[in-house]
Chains A and B, each alone.
Chain A
Amino acid sequence: MIREVTVISGKGGTGKTSLVGSLAYFAENKVMVDCDVDAADLHLILRGNNLASHDFIGSQKAVIDYELCNDCGLCLEYCRLDAIGERFETSEIDARRYYVDSLACEGCAICAEFCPTRAIRMVDHVSGRWFLDDTKYGPLVHARLGIAEANSGKLVSLLRKTARDLAEKNNHELIIIDGSPGIGCPVIASLTGVDYALIVTEPTVAAIHDMERLLELTGHFGIHTGICINKCDLNRDMTDKIVQLAATAKIEVLSRIPYDTSITRAQMAGLPYPEFRKDGVTKNFQELWNNLIEDMNRPHRRSRTNNVPLIQLGKPTEKEV
């Protein structure tokens, strides 16, 4: 049975990607997915060879055929996204009075539907590209949503499906998902139906505020959740507060990682931390991985469906660090 773990944070920059890179080092027989499709960075430290890349058709956009357009302006009237623009001065060279602002168009097609001369067509729109890489740590599925595009949730779902198909085909046991910041569309798409949500937080007012909203979100979906505290020595009071919040929510704090600039140096070197250096921080990451497996095997109290079967998810790693 394939298990999916999503790493999220609410607030950006708490260390999701560095942490996923380290889990990639310790976990065996898994597929990695970078679902932060706006700003995917995991491939910068896993550094694999690209095996395949594909266009992502995320939506359609309206296109006006000016041979047929009679300047009636109904499209402008119907569009609620301000995606139809109007020029008040047209010339013989450019007589196009109405035009589509393709950045604003979300493909609802209402303009095309109501155009009396059928001058508007909906055409497929490439909203990004997605990639399959072969890395030292296993397959990595990632993507790049085009600039200023919508439908990130749809792309996230596509990446996850690709990873699941791959895992089924090659008997991988685990899918590790690097999520995006926030609580909206791409985050929800990267959380639905997963077995475990790992929240990376830090002892700052902003990260705690955002973590509380995430806890509510994973609670809403009934997802088994755990916490990793990054930069845990930045503010002891705030760290205590996170521990208290976790206890109240009845979830585990899996690991505490110190504020250490060598984590940034590993990123500079383009490596997962345990590959960069074997030290106390590496041990913290290893502890995180081992505690993560242990906690996934525990029945959890946030589930909406009670009978979660115990899982056989590899063994705690005893890699030398």
Chain B
Amino acid sequence: MKIAIASGKGGTGKTTVATNLAFYLAGRGRKVIYADGDVEEPNGHLFLKPQWDKTVNVPVKIPLIDESLCDHCGLCSDICRYNALAVLPDKAMVFASLCHSCGGCYHICPRKAITEIDRTIGIMKSGTGSGVTAYEGRLNIGEAISPPVIKFLKGHLKKADFTIIDSPPGTSCPVIEAVRDADFVVLVTEPTPFGLHDLKLAVEMIRKLGLAFGVVVNRYGVGDDRVHDYCRDEGINILLEIPNDRKIAEACAAGNLIVETLPQYAAHFENLLQNILHARRTTGVRV
């Protein structure tokens, strides 16, 4: 079962929920994969502390122009919608960071002057830590386009009883890439105006994708009931409430897993699991 952990707003506790759920499930003898898909700022490793035993480069295709064949006709720069090619009367240039790897230039070139080469935009690591098989995608600093790293990461995951995908914040293309084929999506929010506003956007996104989902309310007690009211009105399951406990904030600050250092919260993650399984059985959404 593939569970994606997402949120509209950043910093609501995605990684806290994802790593603790993964650790909890592994402790119950399940084969668990944790995949950090927040490739711009991957943090899961700080909590699961995996021993990485493999690192591979994540490539994207970019054009390489053979000047000896190029007659500077300009068709490649005409077809490129991303301004990644410029053709001057005696020179053709590629702006690699703008390239979306669509392959248009490669196909259109009448003189076969364009080949495609790999350009590394990030890395993927894998290993084990805290009983969990961990994977991480990591976008290189200065790179703008993260979805190919997420796609690469997801394409390299092995089979497991539970695969937990830690997603980036937001509602745009990197998030879609992270959650699109999940069996269930957990949206983490907090009971504040910012939390509610961004939860609504995240719910709209998940509904547009037609995925089964539920909500975790983190820092429960810090704000008011508006998130609960919204979920009730919309018929959305609240899977778990994590109290606003300074001890939790301190454990996370130091890079500790709550389930390990504050064992009184272990039962919360059992409830989360049961509620996910129950919600999946009872929702009519095709998974």
Is the CB–CB distance between B172 and A109 below 8 Å?
no
A216 to B11 Cα, complex, angstroms: 21
Interface residue B27 (Cβ < 8 Å from any Cβ of A): no
Check A114/B107 contact, CB under 8 A, given A147-B205, A183-B141, A213-B41. Answer: yes
A164-172, A262-270, A279-287, A294-302: which lies at the B interface? A262-270
Is the CB–CB distance between B12 and A13 below 8 Å?
yes
Is the CB–CB distance between A217 and B9 below 8 Å?
no
A220 to B176 Cα, complex, angstroms: 28
From B12, B81, B197, B224, give the contact of A107 (CB < 8 A).
Answer: B81
The chain A residue with its CB closest to the CB of B79 is A113
Is the CB–CB distance between A270 and B209 below 8 Å?
no
Is the CB–CB distance between A267 and B11 below 8 Å?
no
Is the CB–CB distance between B145 and A185 below 8 Å?
yes
From B47, B146, B252, B255, give the contact of A184 (CB < 8 A).
Answer: B146
A60 cross-chain contacts in B, Cβ below 8 A: 81
Is the CB–CB distance between A108 and B40 below 8 Å?
no
Interface residue A149 (Cβ < 8 Å from any Cβ of B): yes
In the assembled complex, 10 residue pairs joining A and B whose CB atoms fall closer than 8 Å, in A order, are A11-B11, A39-B197, A108-B81, A180-B170, A204-B254, A205-B47, A205-B253, A217-B141, A267-B192, A268-B193
B142 cross-chain contacts in A, Cβ below 8 A: 188, 217, 220
B63-71, B97-105, B228-236: which lies at the A interface? B97-105
A111 to B63 Cα, complex, angstroms: 18
Interface residue A161 (Cβ < 8 Å from any Cβ of B): no
Interface residue A63 (Cβ < 8 Å from any Cβ of B): no
The chain B residue with its CB closest to the CB of A107 is B81
Check A39/B10 contact, CB under 8 A, given A113-B108, A185-B145. Answer: yes
A101 to B198 Cα, complex, angstroms: 25
Is the CB–CB distance between B249 and A216 below 8 Å?
no
Chain A's nearest CB lies how many Å from the CB of B168?
6
A235 to B246 Cα, complex, angstroms: 11
A216 cross-chain contacts in B, Cβ below 8 A: 141
Check A39/B146 contact, CB under 8 A, given A13-B9, A206-B43, A216-B141. Answer: no
Q: Mark B144-174, 1 if CB is under 8 A from A, else 0.
A: 1110000000000000000000001111111
Is the CB–CB distance between A39 and B253 below 8 Å?
no
Q: Mark B71-102, 1 if CB is under 8 A from A, else 0.
A: 00000000101100000000000000000111
Q: Mark A88-100, 1 if CB is under 8 A from B, else 0.
A: 0000000000000
Chain A's nearest CB lies how many Å from the CB of B127?
17
Identify which of residues 121-141 in chain B touch chain A, using a CB-to-CB cut-off of 8 Å: 139, 141
Chain A's nearest CB lies how many Å from the CB of B126?
19
Check A44/B100 contact, CB under 8 A, given A185-B144, A204-B252. Answer: no
A242 to B100 Cα, complex, angstroms: 36
Identify which of residues 230-261 in chain B touch chain A, using a CB-to-CB cut-off of 8 Å: 244, 246, 249-250, 252-255
Chain A's nearest CB lies how many Å from the CB of B149?
10
B41 cross-chain contacts in A, Cβ below 8 A: 10-11, 181-183, 206, 209-210, 213
Across chains A and B, the number of contacting residue pairs, with CB separation under 8 Å, is 182
Chain B's nearest CB lies how many Å from the CB of A48?
16
Is the CB–CB distance between B104 and A38 below 8 Å?
no
Is the CB–CB distance between A78 and B107 below 8 Å?
yes
Is the CB–CB distance between B8 and A38 below 8 Å?
yes
The chain A residue with its CB closest to the CB of B223 is A268
From B10, B107, B172, B201, give the contact of A12 (CB < 8 A).
Answer: B10
Interface residue B28 (Cβ < 8 Å from any Cβ of A): no
Chain A's nearest CB lies how many Å from the CB of B203?
10
The chain B residue with its CB closest to the CB of A109 is B81
Number of interface residues of B (CB under 8 A): 59
Interface residue A203 (Cβ < 8 Å from any Cβ of B): yes
Is the CB–CB distance between A184 and B192 below 8 Å?
no
Interface residue B118 (Cβ < 8 Å from any Cβ of A): no
Interface residue A255 (Cβ < 8 Å from any Cβ of B): no
The chain A residue with its CB closest to the CB of B15 is A206
Chain B's nearest CB lies how many Å from the CB of A261?
6
Check A103/B81 contact, CB under 8 A, given A44-B194, A184-B174, A213-B41. Answer: no
Interface residue A150 (Cβ < 8 Å from any Cβ of B): yes
A238 cross-chain contacts in B, Cβ below 8 A: 253-254
Is the CB–CB distance between B103 and A206 below 8 Å?
no
Check A182/B107 contact, CB under 8 A, given A216-B141, A235-B250. Answer: no
The chain A residue with its CB closest to the CB of B170 is A38
B101 cross-chain contacts in A, Cβ below 8 A: 80
From B81, B103, B194, give the contact of A41 (CB < 8 A).
Answer: B194
Interface residue A316 (Cβ < 8 Å from any Cβ of B): no
From A13, A206, A209, A264, give the contact of B222 (CB < 8 A).
Answer: A264
Is the CB–CB distance between A205 and B255 below 8 Å?
yes
A238 to B251 Cα, complex, angstroms: 12
Interface residue B1 (Cβ < 8 Å from any Cβ of A): no
A9 to B9 Cα, complex, angstroms: 13
Interface residue A152 (Cβ < 8 Å from any Cβ of B): yes
A177 to B169 Cα, complex, angstroms: 19
Chain B's nearest CB lies how many Å from the CB of A199?
13
Chain A's nearest CB lies how many Å from the CB of B231?
18
B176 cross-chain contacts in A, Cβ below 8 A: 103, 148
A153 cross-chain contacts in B, Cβ below 8 A: 144
A-B contact sample (20 more), CB < 8 A, given A13-B12, A153-B144, A185-B146: A11-B43, A41-B9, A41-B194, A78-B107, A80-B101, A80-B103, A108-B81, A110-B79, A113-B108, A147-B204, A148-B171, A148-B209, A152-B173, A181-B10, A182-B41, A206-B15, A206-B46, A210-B41, A264-B223, A268-B193
